[in-house]
Structure 1
């Protein structure tokens, strides 16, 4: 469920209080109209009962002046009836508005998460993970405040004000107009407070994102923090963002604390003006003592709902600012996926035709004039110093980034002709930075689209990756939970699970980005054998710093500054005495 109403772009001045944001929130409420209607009915019952309490004061005075059995019975029945009605109204309004609110939050959170799964890589490059998590947690909860307790109080107390005003107009319209004279002043205070609440709320949301970001970095990288004595630095970073959040929160609290008593004083002035005026006989219009007391009670009773409605404005403005921020993420443009070609399995003939690429904010190309032809089943190794463009080149193949010049072709079909799902189904990927999930070993090997693989297929993939030897030593074998990002495993074990995952996928194209970098010499020998097996019959692109691991590649490409400067097999490049021979000599000297 999502709404297609557009919002201003990030570059424009945000107007979180605009009707557009309210409209989009209402679109999320629409499927739960029955529960919302019941909540409104509950609020009407509560407001009616509150008005009835003020009106009942007339009968209280009558009963005091004339304490007959009938009056006593009537008065006690009214008291019990009014409070019973208020109880029913309170339950209906609170339960059903919370029902609607939590469903809206569930839908919003789902929409944000689903959109995050479809956004291009550049979005994640531009936005820290901590801030994105903050959107899903803190910001969406702020919307919950606006759609549950805030709406309940606004409806319930707002209807109470309307009911009491109606009773007062019915009783004496002249006195009511005097009471309403302070209305514009109250409106001005509320308007000023609303704008300030909204502005501060946006800053609080930004500072909460910073808190989540700094905390998640410190927690994830705790080993580096402790090894390099970064505790004081991290404390300072956290203190800065935490203090910023504190200052904004205190500004919010001070605005709220000032606006509420100011409004209360204004209401008190209006009530005092009433009391003074109603003693004039021409205004009183022959009202009985009971009617006068009922009128004053209604005016005094109104102070509490007015105070609550104005104090809840902060929550509403927080919620609207948060909703605007959440909708901004939902409105982000997903990955471009115009292709429709979806073959069952490609052969794996890959061709790069004068390919160029640059990141959005860079003037110079990161890759320039890349032309390679890789026949199916051939292995090509990419070598070169860090920053030469190796990883960028292979990340163009699954379209994590869109190349800005030239063309990439697989089996005579341009990369953009393939649907993203079909394209990525043809590629298995093992990177230096292994990503594992807080799940069992089996679930990590048979991840995503592989989850329907049999237990035997999972075991076979683990065996080929030389992972079965350590898996069988685990307390629960394949069902062992491995912790957050495989924290229970060594670097080599994590790498072998990633290789097992790639083996299980059995894709025709294989990308190995520093796949053996985390392995010790013994493990590397085993993995190298496994990789040589799995590379047979597959088109493989290998990135490696250790040249000893790619000596058997069909072709080796040497990259420098985003260009291919040498191409050939291991022996040819050594004989040529160029850049590859220098790299080889350098590594050989270091090993020696």
Structure 2
């Protein structure tokens, strides 16, 4: 029950409302006991003794009992559901906040759809556990205790006979509940797989339609959907088996009570009113027992969901601030990469003993074949991943000794895969500077050569970009991204093949924007087209995770090595000055 106790801990901030709800539930339970007790005077005093005074008093008593019961049920239920929603909100906030802090290593090993399923579907399952289930458990438990008191008060011997069936009920319900928990977890996993499938399909719908694979995708989805349905069907069968099983066991107990209790009435050892009061309390007692069995089933489903959620919440933060981490001051001298080794999988390094230095304001370019380690290396600079060995130093400060926020606050990133939020152009440019004035946004857009095309949009800077910027062309998205980086005004800049996917005209516009962005900044560039980094202060050639050549363009060309072969391979039929590509300057 440690898992469930952890769930219930989210109710602590709302304990005042919780205790008020409990007080109301006590009223409900007490009224249930009173309803059972009042049966005896109704039968004995009104129908048997024909007492006219009681004929006036007892109906009023019945009305008052159910008035109190209705009042208690309304406020208990309302308060508990509100508490449950607040607790679920807190769980979802905690989960999302933790996900934001996890490193890219975590996300590289997870499917987005499955993460979405945990923060939506799994949390929704838990909602029943921390609101309705808690309410039902407390109310029905209190009601059961009160009615048990009535039953034992009316006839101790009969109550013992009735209680004999309870252990058998508990054994069967326990077995069903444990089985339900396993199947419930399986159903949540199947739903997560469906979410992943949907996200992948919607994101890649252009590829699906281009290859005419709609029928294939439909059949794949049907297969996954059927697997989910089969799991849910098993869950329904287990869940619904508890009620008829309890009713059958209860019927055996009732039959024994009628046989034994009826004999007591015939022999005159008890009155009809007392027996029917006992029988009424007993019938009312089986209702909360049945509901508690369903509560137990819901708890098992919630625990399966909670396990998946807390597995995420308990995922350790691989990238976080160490004790005593300091705020990194603006770069003054330069950046050193000292003996850096990195591995995605233990024992399989993808970067080997990298040593580099770049002075403030210099441009350092990385070139090499795909898989050489270029992107991996620049991902280490903002601590998206942690180095295995060695260190990266800003003005001599190991980046692991400074706060992550202050480190990343000094770095701007523009990549080939531009991500724009489904928001206005203005908000995308001002991302990270939500209080920025429109004049500041326009100034950044003009520097990125984006202002002109933005003003041609239907709503100018208030135009929605669409999901992932789908309403804009590749060049337009790239310039919005550059404007966003200019808005941040970082002293350090990372450009990851930022123009490799653009046509010539778009690239020329982006290169002009890049020149404004790079000016005066320490820049790391990954280049697909070597012509774009001809004027870099230093070019680093990587091959299989190792630095094999460094130097300026002319120096590397004179060495007649790997860089020269790459350059000549790309431009065998053109000269450096005749290239249509504009170099970074």
TM-score (norm 2): 0.94
Q: How far apart are the structure 1 equivalents of 2:63 and 2:335? A: 82
Matches within 5 A, 1:47-62: 47-61=29-43, 62=45
Alpha-carbon spacing, 1:364–1:590, altered in 2? closer, same or farther (3 Å): farther
Question: Are 1:50 and 1:160, in contact at CA under 8 Å, matched by a contact in 2?
Answer: yes
Query: Per-residue CA shift, 1:477-505, capped at 9, x if unaligned?
Result: 11222122112111211111111111111
- Confirm or deny that 1:266 pairs with 2:249: yes
The question of whether the paired residues in 1 share the 8 Å contact of 2:375 and 2:496 is answered with yes
Pick aligned residue for 1:257 from 240, 250, 269: 240
Q: Is the 8 A contact 1:131 1:212 kept in 2?
A: yes
Matched residue SS, 1:545: coil
Q: Say whether residues 1:363 and 2:347 are aligned partners.
A: yes
Give a deviation string over 1:532-578, Cα, whole Å, max 9, x none.
Answer: 23222211111111112111211211211111122222222233332
Aligned to 2:412: 428
Q: Match for residue 304 of structure 1?
A: 287
Distance 1:176 1:284 in 2: 19
Q: CA deviation at 1:348?
A: 5.5
Does structure 2 retain, via aligned residues, the 8 Å contact 1:348–1:539?
A: no
Asked if the contact 1:348–1:377 (Cα under 8 Å) also holds between the matched residues in 2, the reply is no
Deviation at 1:589, TM superposition (A): 4.2
- Give the alignment partner of residue 37 of structure 1, picking from 8, 14, 19: 19
User: Mean alpha-carbon deviation: is it higher for 73-82 or for 212-221?
Assistant: 73-82
Greater CA drift, 348-357 or 277-286: 277-286
Q: Does structure 1 residue 583 correspond to structure 2 residue 560?
A: no
Q: CA offset at residue 474 of structure 1?
A: 1.2
Residues 348-368 of structure 1: CA distance to partner in whole angstroms, max 9, x if unpaired?
Answer: 511112211111x25321011
Query: 2-side partners of 1:562 and 1:228: how far apart?
Result: 36
- 2:369–2:543: 8 Å Cα contact kept in structure 1? yes
| Per-residue deviation, 1:285 | 7.4
Q: Could you tell me how far 1:382 is from its partner in structure 2?
A: 0.8
Equivalent in the alignment of 2:403: 419
Matched with 1:22 is: 4
Contact kept? 1:175, 1:283, Cα under 8 Å: no
**Structure 1 pair 348–265 and aligned structure 2 pair: CA distance change class (3 A):** farther
Q: Distance in 2 between matches of 1:516 and 1:447?
A: 22
Q: Deviations over 1:242-300 (max 9, x none)?
A: 22221221111111122210111101110110010113349977321111111111112
> For residues 45-88 of structure 1, what are the alpha-carbon distances to aligned partners after superposition, in whole Å with 9 as ceiling and x for unaligned?
11222222222221331323344542322232123122212211
Aligned partner of 1:378 in structure 2 is 362
The worse-fitting range, judged by mean Cα deviation, of 273-282 and 98-107 is: 273-282
2:308 to 314, 319, 325: 325
Match for residue 402 of structure 1?
386
Return the alpha-carbon distance in structure 1 between the equivalents of residues 258 and 422 of structure 2.
68
Does the CA-based 8 Å contact 2:428-2:484 persist in structure 1?
Answer: yes
Q: Residues of 1 paired with 2:330 and 2:435: CA distance? A: 18
Q: Distance in 1 between matches of 2:78 and 2:554?
A: 76
| CA apart distance, 1:406 | 1.7
C-alpha offsets along residues 356-406 of structure 1, whole Å, 9 cap, x if unaligned? Answer: 1111x2532101121111111111111111111000000000011111112
**Bigger shift: 425-434 or 345-354?**
345-354
Measured after TM superposition, the shift of residue 409 of structure 1 is 1.4
Aligned to 1:14: none
SS of structure 1 residue aligned to 2:274: helix
2:84 maps to 1:96:
no
Tell me the equivalent position of 2:325: 340
Q: Which runs of 5+ in 2 are unaligned?
A: 580-585
Q: What's 1:565 paired with?
A: 548
Once residues 284 and 256 of structure 1 are traced to their aligned partners in structure 2, the CA distance between those partners, rounded to angstroms, is 43
Equivalent of 2:137, from 141, 154, 169? 154
Q: Distance in 2 between matches of 1:436 and 1:84?
A: 58
Partner of 1:85: 68
Q: Secondary structure at the match of 1:148?
A: helix
The answer to whether structure 1 residue 220 and structure 2 residue 203 are counterparts is: yes
Q: Given that residues 198 and 318 in structure 1 are in contact (C-alpha distance below 8 angstroms), is that contact kept between their aligned partners in structure 2?
A: yes
- 1:421-441 residue CA offsets vs partner (Å, 9 max, x unmatched): 111111100111111112111
CA distance in 2: counterparts of 1:580 and 1:530, whole angstroms: 27
Please give the secondary structure, in 2, of the residue aligned with 1:366. strand
Which residue number in structure 2 is paired with residue 11 of structure 1? none
Aligned-pair distance for 1:586?
2.1
Whole-angstrom distance in 1 between the partners of 2:431 and 2:266: 80
Partner of 2:420, secondary structure, is coil
Partner of 1:6: none
**Could you report, residue by residue, the CA deviation over 1:142-199 in whole angstroms, capped at 9, with x for unpaired residues?**
1111111222222222222211111010011000000001111011011111211211
Aligned equivalent of 1:4: none
Tell me the secondary structure at the aligned position of residue 571 of structure 1: helix
Q: Answer with 321-330 or 281-290: which moved more.
A: 281-290
Question: Is residue 328–residue 403 contact of structure 2 (8 Å, CA) maintained in 1?
Answer: no
What is the deviation of 1:325?
2.1
SS in 2 for 1:84: helix
59, 63, 83: which one pairs with 1:76?
Answer: 59
- Following superposition, the deviation at residue 238 of structure 1 comes to 2.2
SS at match of 1:279: helix
How many residues of Structure 1 are paired with residues of Structure 2 in the alignment?
A: 572
Residues 1:508 and 1:579: Cα distance change in structure 2 (over 3 Å): same
Between the aligned partners of 2:266 and 2:109, the Cα distance in structure 1 is 68
Decide whether the 8 Å contact of 2:478 with 2:510 is kept in 1: no
Contact 1:495 1:519 in 2 (8 A): no
Q: Deviations over 1:309-343 (max 9, x none)?
A: 11232211111222222222222212232162323
- Find the aligned partners of 2:226 and 2:573 in 1 and give their Cα distance: 49
Aligned pair partner of 2:494 in 494, 501, 511 = 511
Root mean square deviation of aligned Cα: 1.9
- Residue from 460, 465, 489 that aligns with 1:477: 460
1:16 aligned partner: none
Report if aligned partners of 1:102, 1:144 keep a CA contact under 8 Å in 2: yes
